[in-house]
Every structure is written in C-alpha cells, then in structure tokens.
A and B are shown apart, each in its own frame.
Chain A
Amino acid sequence: MAMGSPAIASTTKKSGNAFFKNEGVQSVGLFLLSLILFLLFWEVGARSGLFAKGMPTASKTLQELWWWSTHPFFNNGPNDLGIGWNLLISLRRVAIGYTLASLIAIPLGVLIGISPIAYRAFNPYVQLLKPVSPLAWLPLGLYILRDSEQTGIFIILISSIWPTLINTAFGVANVDQDYLDVASTLGASRLRTIFKVIIPAALPNIVSGLRISMGIAWLVIVAAEMLLGTGLGYFIWNEWNNLYIPNILVAIFIIGLVGLLLDSIFAALERFVAFGRNS
C-alpha cells in the first residue's frame, strides 16, 4: 500500500505535464501571453505618454473595435459609413478586378505555356510590367477611364494579373513529360490533351498564382481607395483627416483579418488540388 499512492501521484503529475508539453498548447499559450504583454505595454505606454502625443490607449481602441463590429451597417453619407459597407465595397471592387484579371491571365498563361516560342517571346513583357507599382497605373487609369470606380477596378486588374499569368504559363510549360507521353500513346487529340491533362496537371501552379494575385489585389485596393472615394482605404484616409487614430487601428485590424481569411481560402484550395503532390 505504501508503494501504491506515490505511484499514482507520479502518473497524474506526468499527464498534467503532457498537457503543457503538447506543442499546440504551448504555442497557443505563448500567443496569448505575448498578446497580453503587448496590450499591457500599449496601455501603460499610451497612458504615461511614452508614445506620440494623442496615441490612443489599447482599451480605447478595443472599445472602438467593439463598437464598429457591432454597428457594421449604417449609412449617413459617404463620409460616415459603417465599416461593413466599406468592407463590402472594397471586396466588390477586388472581386470584379480580380475575376477579370484571372479570366485573362489563365487562358493567356495556358497559351503562352503551351508554346515554348510564345513563352520566350512574351516573357520580356511580363517581366517588365510585373515589377511596376500598381499605383503607377492610377493616373493612366483616371485619364483613360475618367471614373474613379472603374479606375479602382482597373488597378486591381492590372496588378493582380501577373502572378496568375506567370504561374499558369510556368505550370503548363513544365507538365511532367510522362503525362504527355501517356496522352500521345493513347492518340489523344491536342484539345483533349490540353483540357484533360495539361490544365489539371498545371492546376497546383495555377492556384498558387491565384493565391498570390489575391494577396496583391487586397494590398492594392486599400492604397488605391485612399485616392478614390469609398471603401476601407477611404475609411482610413477619412479618419486620418479627422485625426482619429483608434478608427485607423480598427481598420488596419479588419483589413488584416479579411486578408488572412482570403488567403486561407486559397490555401485550402491549394491543398484540394494537390493530390499528394509536394503539398
């Protein structure tokens, strides 16, 4: 009996340790701890005037976040719009521009990728235009389209077209020769080979191109909207004119959250089309 109880005590102790030794538990713990420390530092710093004058406290910002997220849809004119509306406006612009970009980039990428000659011929254009900052297109868009709404969409289109185009062309040009050999030993037609073999084989590349493009579109829309009129970007610009920093921080948080959400949708899509290939 004397041997019994210490043994039990030591096993319960071990299982308690096992809970804290789990890597998932540890990382969540670290995350929460750092968040609390950060908010605490912020709160204390802001109250004691450690940061710039007028810097809001953490509690004030969280309060605003709560208010904006519980009142997302109100409309008192363009300068006083609920954040939900602004978000939807931004998302709508991104959706239109991004969809148009993808509809151009994927077929064009397939065409370029299929032919090695086209691949080399069009590569200089793509390489030249890809590094141009999206905002450099803004004056051109405004001049040609003479409409801020359309210009916003145009900028999304022109900046989110490249990654999809490049990745699609690369994926199509580098389809495993074995798959092509299978298709040709069966006597498959060119069209059947393209739709049944080449495009599905390049799908992981196409989806990762789409994912990068979506990230860029979301980056660009906020910047473009500062110069446009509505949307999350304009919301930030407007709050800057009002010099009300807590709302800017709220908007930054929401932009980050939505970007994260969009990215994880594409990450899931990537896994879905991988079928065991270097996932």
Chain B
Amino acid sequence: MSFASLNGIPVNGSPLVEPIHSSSQLSIRNVTKVFAGKKGLFNKVTRKTTRDFMAIEDISMEIEPNTFVTIIGPSGCGKSTLLNMVAGLSSISNGEILLNGKPITGPGSDRGMVFQSYALMPWMTVEQNIRFAVETVHPKMSPKAMTRVIKEHIQLVGLEGAETKHPHELSGGMRQRVGIARALAINPQILLMDEPFGALDALTRGFLQDEIERIWEQQRKTVIMITHSIEEALLLSDRIVMMTRGPAARVDEILEVPFPRPRNRESIEQHPAYHTLKAEMESHLFRETRAVEEARVRSK
C-alpha cells in the first residue's frame, strides 16, 4: 500500500471536499498601532499638542481554530490595544487582521468580548443582559428558541436562580459569569477576554479559572485572553504570547503549553515542563517590567 492510495482513502467515509490552504482562523499580520497626537492650528494655539504614540509595532501571529491563547506582558505595553483591534473597537494603523481570511474592518458578532469591568447594563436583570445580546445578534430568532439559548447559557456559567437579579445585587465573580454567558450566548467564533478576572479576589479568581477550563473543554472555542497571572496562563492556554514593553511593543516569544487536557491545578504542576515554562515567563516579565521602571526613573 502506497502513501498515495492511503491519502486517497476517504476519512470517515466522506471524501475530503477541498484542501485547507491555511490552518489559521485568525491571522494578525504586521499590525502596528499609532495613537495620533494632537496637532493642528487650534491645538497649537492652546498649546495642547502631543506627539504621535506608537503603542505596538509590527506584530504578527497566526491563531488556529480551537486554541486558547493568552497574551501576557508588562503593564501598558499594548495588550488591550491589540485585543481591541481584533474586536474591531480600535482602528488598525498598519498591517491587517484576517478572520477566516477576511480582513476585520469593525466590530462584529463573530467575536464575543468579555470586559474586565464586566460592562453589564445595570438597569437590566441577568436574564435581560443576556437577552439583549442574543436579540441584537439574532433579531429574527423565535422567542422560544431565544429563551432556550438564554437558559442554556445561564446554566453553563452556573447562575440558575439569579436570572431576575440586577448586577448590583451580585458579587464580582457572579457579574463576570454573566459577562461570560453574554459573550458566549451569541455563539461567536472567537472569545476575547481582557483581564476578565483582574478585578476579583484570589479565591473567586481561582473558581472562575476552573469554570473557564470546564467550559472550554465543552466548547473548545478559540479564545484570546489577556492576563497578568502566570499561573492562570499556564492553567488555561495552549499558547502563551509574551509581549515586550512599550512603546512600539512587539511579540517577544510564543510558548507552547504541552499539558494534556482536561487540566487542573494539581496535575499540571506535576508535568515536567511546568517549572521551566513558569521560570521562563517569570524572567521575561521581570526583565521587561524592570526596564519599564528604569525608563520611568530616567525620564523623571
């Protein structure tokens, strides 16, 4: 039996329809972000001119479907800027971002976003917050189907019984559960999370990380998450993108995380690669953060 005939055998009885040219779902290609400074006569007169600021420069990466990617880097390096460009909330100064081969030009419901500040509408109940998202994305969905989708996602994040509560009646951890349910309920291709647990205490944070791991095992959606926590990145991600300090931040290194899934805190610590990865990330973050601090001292 030759290789040629082996390749010709249809997998699972169905013939391969067409070859996949690129395996990546999201391509970030030579992306640069420059925040324009204040210029012009009016600002010159009022002495309010500022210089252009290049936050990130020439960042490229390919993200395959069903991977969990975390971005980690020193504070202020441009992680949020990059994520907002993927979300379509912020314009791209140079380069392009392709989603399934099509350039991103603005926000869209193919990407779901989880915000650090939760960004729940205070005047809506838990159920209404999720309903608002589903209704916006699928205005023609039948009421029955919509109610089912909402209920499913409330169950997914473990919020049964809190449907009729308003956000101010919930704890931070529960609010972020609503944020996650809202982002997932529109069934996006990619989930974007900007420090989703940044405002939570350590214990709640741990609980929600476990929840994210559990939900990810169920759905295996592509996720891009920003974090400051090394342990969090190691627990959840397939790949860790480490960014250098700004201005003109770049990607320093991309780490592959080989731990088998499903994961939990204890099991990954037993893995032989755990401590090397952790040490590598620590030294990277330490080096970049120290450089930031030194630059700040010198500029004063």
* A21 interface residue per 8 A CB criterion: no
Please list the residues of chain B having a beta carbon within 8 angstroms of any beta carbon in chain A. 87-89, 106-109, 111-113, 115, 117, 119, 121-123, 132-133, 136-137, 166-169, 186
Contacts of A276 in B (CB 8 A): 122, 166-169
Report how far A183 CA is from B109 CA in the complex, Å.
10
* A185 interface residue per 8 A CB criterion: yes
Determine if A186 and B186 form an interchain contact, defined as CB atoms under 8 angstroms apart.
yes
Question: Provided the pairs A187-B137, A276-B166 are in contact, do residues A182 and B113 lie with their beta carbons within 8 angstroms?
Answer: yes
Q: Which of A89-97, A194-202, A247-255 contacts B (4 or more CB under 8 A)?
A: A194-202
Contacts of A182 in B (CB 8 A): 113, 115, 119, 121, 133
Determine if B111 and A185 form an interchain contact, defined as CB atoms under 8 angstroms apart.
yes
* A184 interface residue per 8 A CB criterion: yes
Report how far A183 CA is from B133 CA in the complex, Å.
8
Report how far A252 CA is from B63 CA in the complex, Å.
74
* A135 interface residue per 8 A CB criterion: no
Write 17 A-B pairs (CB below 8 A) sorted by A numbering. A178-B117, A178-B119, A181-B115, A184-B89, A184-B106, A185-B88, A185-B107, A185-B111, A186-B136, A187-B108, A187-B109, A187-B136, A187-B137, A201-B121, A201-B123, A275-B168, A276-B168
Contacts of B109 in A (CB 8 A): 185-187
Q: Choose among B88, B107, B121 the residue that contacts A200 (Cβ–Cβ < 8 A).
A: B121
Determine if A186 and B87 form an interchain contact, defined as CB atoms under 8 angstroms apart.
no
Report how far A187 CA is from B137 CA in the complex, Å.
7
Report how far A181 CA is from B112 CA in the complex, Å.
11
Contacts of B119 in A (CB 8 A): 176, 178-179, 181-182
Contacts of A275 in B (CB 8 A): 122-123, 166-168
Report how far A185 CA is from B117 CA in the complex, Å.
15
Contacts of B87 in A (CB 8 A): 185
Chain A 2-46, CB-CB to B under 8 Å as 1, else 0, gives: 000000000000000000000000000000000000000000000
* A269 interface residue per 8 A CB criterion: no
Report how far A201 CA is from B119 CA in the complex, Å.
12
* A273 interface residue per 8 A CB criterion: yes
Contacts of A200 in B (CB 8 A): 121, 123
Q: Please give the distance in Å from B271's CB to the nearest CB on chain A.
A: 36
* A129 interface residue per 8 A CB criterion: no
Determine if A181 and B136 form an interchain contact, defined as CB atoms under 8 angstroms apart.
no
Residue of A nearest to B183 (CB): A185
Report how far A179 CA is from B88 CA in the complex, Å.
15
* A103 interface residue per 8 A CB criterion: no
Contacts of B115 in A (CB 8 A): 178, 181-182
Chain A 166-200, CB-CB to B under 8 Å as 1, else 0, gives: 00000000001011011111111000100011001
* A212 interface residue per 8 A CB criterion: no
Q: Choose among A176, A192, A277 the residue that contacts B136 (Cβ–Cβ < 8 A).
A: A192
* Beyond A273-B123, A276-B167, 11 additional pairs, beta carbon < 8 A: A178-B117, A182-B119, A183-B136, A184-B88, A184-B89, A185-B112, A186-B107, A187-B108, A187-B136, A275-B166, A276-B166
Report how far A277 CA is from B169 CA in the complex, Å.
11
Residue of B nearest to A200 (CB): B123
Q: Please give the distance in Å from A223's CB to the nearest CB on chain B.
A: 37
Q: Please give the distance in Å from B194's CB to the nearest CB on chain A.
A: 10
* Chain A residues numbered 39-73 whose CB sits less than 8 Å from any CB in chain B: none
Residue of A nearest to B128 (CB): A196
Contacts of B167 in A (CB 8 A): 275-276
Report how far A196 CA is from B122 CA in the complex, Å.
12
Report how far A277 CA is from B166 CA in the complex, Å.
11
Q: Which of A176, A186, A188 has the most CB of B within 10 A?
A: A186
Chain A 248-279, CB-CB to B under 8 Å as 1, else 0, gives: 00000000000000000000000001011100
